[in-house]
């Protein structure tokens, strides 16, 4: 029993917030998409199992093997392009035993960990900067090729947050800004038609309410129709009559807002940001530099994912396909988050 409860009581705030978010997720998914509920429940079990495995392996041991894990991760990303399932013109998933896994999500904690380890030997010379940029860009480019623009952008932001924390010099910030500024305009020509449509629908979604702007409009209606207390379990007009698209993944926050209301959606935000605050507190108190950088990368990714997902549900940001951490029905995203939490709790000195 000690093996079961030790990681749970070590960081009770993380445990409680994670449990409450999973509870909300399972509850709302049983209403919005009961057909996928059994499969997602299996992903939850696997994710919890990964959490325990990575916790008991230990943060320092995983750090030691991080160069090998980085190489394995790159091979998995390449393998996805060769053997992955083609879905809606993208190659992101590898089928294993009746389940589909998205390597770009699952391997991300190991990419961050290796990048954190390399930051320790960073000396600030120009050749070191080039080496760090290459280390970060290789997986980002491999993910973008799939294409998965949202995941590649979030991964890049995680690397950037870690690097900026290390150097914290204006010249390096300007260097990254210039690099980002040069890359972003050219990416338009490599975006798939549906990705361009998502961006344009955000800019002028009211001009095409039955076409490219449909998803955004239905999401806004769902958020607004829930009121203070919501319409109730399985009583959402938008969700139950299937007006709201991707209600179990991209637009799950809109589904929560309609069925659980303003109070339900605020509760989810409180759980999320309490979790993030606790992780940030743990990381800020550490003397281990690798743990510090990994924690910053992790919290940055989870925070950006949350803000972007909620922003697109409110019509404030373009649709990216990024999940709401620990809430959206994304099995690979859930496993990635639990792996990260396992490393965070394992490395905590409490």
* pLDDT tens by residue, 256-278: 999 999 999 999 999 999 999 99
Which of the pair, 248 or 344, is modelled with greater confidence? 344
pLDDT at 241 over 80: no
pLDDT attached to residue 253: 94
On the question of pLDDT at 189 being above 50, the answer is no
**Over 50: is that where the pLDDT of 312 sits?**
yes
Mean pLDDT score, 41-68:
96
On whether the CB atoms of residues 15 and 279 are closer than 8 A, the answer is no
For residues 55 and 52, give the distance between their C-alpha atoms in angstroms, rounded to a whole number.
Answer: 5
| Residue 194 pLDDT exceeds 60 | no
Is there a contact between 343 and 62 (Cβ–Cβ < 8 Å)?
yes
pLDDT given for residue 202 in this prediction:
53
Q: How many domains does the chain have?
A: 1
Confidence of residue 211 (pLDDT cuts 50, 70, 90): low
pLDDT of 125 over the 80 cut = no
Phi, psi of 77 (to 5 degrees): -65, -40
Q: What average pLDDT does range 158-186 have in this prediction?
A: 65
Average pLDDT rounded to a whole number, residues 229-249: 84
What Cα–Cα distance (Å) separates residue 95 from each residue in 100, 197, 258, 333? 4, 28, 33, 15
Is the per-residue pLDDT at 94 higher than 90?
A: no
Please give the average per-residue pLDDT across 297-312, as a whole number.
Answer: 92
The pTM is what? 0.89
pLDDT value at position 201? 53
Report the length, in residues, of the chain: 350
Q: Is the pLDDT of residue 338 over 90?
A: yes
Write down the pLDDT at residue 113.
97
Q: What local confidence, expressed as pLDDT, does residue 305 receive?
A: 93
- pLDDT mean over 202-227: 72
Residue 68 pLDDT greater than 50, yes or no: yes
209 pLDDT above the threshold of 50: yes
Quote the mean pLDDT of the chain: 85
130-141 average pLDDT score = 88
Can you give the residue range of the structural domain that contains 42? 2-347
Burial environment of residue 183 by CB neighbours within 10 A (0 to 12, 13 to 18, 19 or more): middle
**Per-residue pLDDT band at 328 (split at 50, 70, 90):** very high
């Amino acid at each position: 029993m000690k093996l079961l409860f030790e990681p749970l009581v070590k960081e009770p705030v993380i445990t409680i917030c994670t449990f409450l978010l999973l509870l909300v997720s399972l509850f709302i998914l049983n209403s919005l998409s009961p057909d996928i509920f059994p499969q997602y429940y299996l992903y939850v079990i696997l994710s919890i199992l990964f959490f325990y495995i990575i916790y008991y392996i230990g943060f320092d041991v995983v750090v030691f093997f991080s160069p090998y894990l980085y190489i394995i991760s790159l091979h998995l990303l390449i393998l996805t392009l060769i053997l992955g399932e083609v879905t809606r013109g993208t190659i992101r998933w590898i089928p294993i035993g009746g389940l589909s896994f998205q390597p770009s999500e699952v391997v991300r904690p190991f990419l961050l960990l290796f990048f954190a380890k390399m930051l320790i030997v960073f000396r600030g010379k120009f050749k070191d900067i080039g080496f760090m940029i290459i280390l970060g860009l290789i997986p980002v480019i491999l993910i973008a090729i799939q294409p998965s623009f949202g995941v590649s952008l979030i991964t890049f932001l995680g690397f950037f947050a870690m690097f900026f924390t290390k150097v914290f010099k204006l010249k390096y910030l300007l260097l990254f800004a210039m690099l980002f500024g040069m890359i972003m305009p050219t990416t338009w020509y490599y975006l798939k038609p549906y990705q361009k449509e998502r961006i344009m629908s955000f800019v002028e979604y009211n001009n095409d309410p039955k076409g490219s702007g449909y998803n955004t409009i239905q999401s806004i209606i769902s958020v607004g129709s829930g009121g203070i207390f919501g319409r109730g379990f399985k009583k959402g007009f938008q969700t139950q009559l299937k007006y709201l698209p991707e209600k179990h993944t991209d637009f799950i926050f809109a589904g929560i807002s309609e069925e659980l209301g303003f109070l339900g959606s605020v509760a989810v935000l409180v759980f999320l940001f309490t979790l993030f605050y606790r992780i940030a507190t743990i990381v800020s108190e550490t003397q281990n530099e690798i743990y510090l950088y990994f924690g910053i990368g992790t919290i940055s990714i989870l925070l950006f994912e949350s803000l972007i997902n909620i922003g697109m549900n409110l019509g404030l940001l373009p649709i990216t396909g990024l999940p709401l951490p620990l809430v959206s029905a994304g099995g690979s995203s859930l496993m990635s988050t639990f792996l990260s939490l396992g490393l965070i709790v394992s490395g905590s000195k409490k």
